Amino acid sequence: MKRHPVVIVLRTFVLVVFVVLLCKTFVVTSCTIPSTGMENGLYKGERVLVNKWSYGLRLPFSTKRWCAREAKSGDVIVFNNPNPRDNTISIYNRDVFVSRCKGAPGDTLMLNDGLTITNDEVFSPDIKSFYLYPLEEEKELLPVLNKLGINEQTLVGYQDGNYIRNLSHYECYLIRQELKGKINLTPLYKEDTLESHPFVIPKKGFTVKVYPWNVKLLCNTISRHEGKRASVRNDMLYVDGYPISFYTFTKDYYWMTSDNPVNISDSRLFGLVPDTHLIGKVGRVWFSTRGGRLFKSVR
């Protein structure tokens, strides 16, 4: 029996819609660049194709993945807002952001007080260095060392009217915080003069040490994404009411940045991004009002 042309058109239309929805759900999706944060690589209003299998397929209405794998530093990633005003909104229903990954799980970044990545060489905060301070300030320093539990035997000599102590970056940070600038601890060597601190990007099953400079970031991450009660009191991290010096994370996290340095709508604002929020890696531009941008590969 010959089918009516209208029936054929309708069946074709339904089949096309079904295939498109299937591809959008399980293979690739489209995203509109929402802001100027990624200029000059991506421009506001452009539409890009996003590979949903880049880091393993996130199942519909779920945060579980098939064939899960880590994103790499340098990837341009689409993800759901990790810090919405209303935390009751399901992850997959939240706003969509686009940023570049600059810190993968287990990486160590050097960040300044504004949480901006610096070019300082990555170091361990427990490595010892030499610091100078005036001889007459010894009486004021000793009680602080005792309070912080730092061995007085760190004194190793003197030079040009200054004592020299062998302290770690962490110990020096604690002393400066306690004295609030009353004593000027000056690095003996210029390479030890740093305006940034090492931040370890949490990795699933990885234990991160709590320092005064990362305590707020860790606290926010634990309370938002780890499902625990966390707070900070006097630079000490409390989880479920207990003070802790180390924390073992249950998810992989990422540090995201904007290509446009003026735009701070990135991890400096919303913090670490859990792997459960990743949608996929940006592939190509499929719509743009700018010449020469059509099907341009995104790197």
Residue 248 near residue 218 (C-beta atoms within 8 A):
no
| Cα 69 from chain centre | 17
pLDDT at 133 over 50: yes
Name, in order, each residue with C-beta under 8 angstroms of 142's C-beta and a sequence gap of 6 or more: 152
Query: Residue 180's pLDDT is what?
Result: 84
pLDDT digits (tens, 9 = 90+) for 198-226: 999 999 999 999 999 999 999 999 999 99
Residue 84 near residue 95 (C-beta atoms within 8 A):
yes
Q: Say which range, 7-16, 26-35, 85-94, 154-163, has the weakest mean pLDDT.
A: 7-16
Name, in order, each residue with C-beta under 8 angstroms of 152's C-beta and a sequence gap of 6 or more: 142, 145, 146
Give the integer Cα–Cα distance in Å for 70 and 88.
26
Token reading at 116: 């901006």
Give the integer Cα–Cα distance in Å for 59 and 30.
17
Structural domains of the chain, ranges and CATH numbers in brackets? 1-104+255-299 (2.10.109.10), 106-120+200-251 (no CATH), 128-192 (3.30.70)
Max intra-chain CA distance, the chain: 106
pLDDT digits (tens, 9 = 90+) for 230-266: 999 988 999 999 999 999 999 999 999 999 877 888 9
SS3 102: strand
Q: What does each C-alpha distance from 136 to 26, 120, 142 come to in angstroms?
A: 70, 32, 12
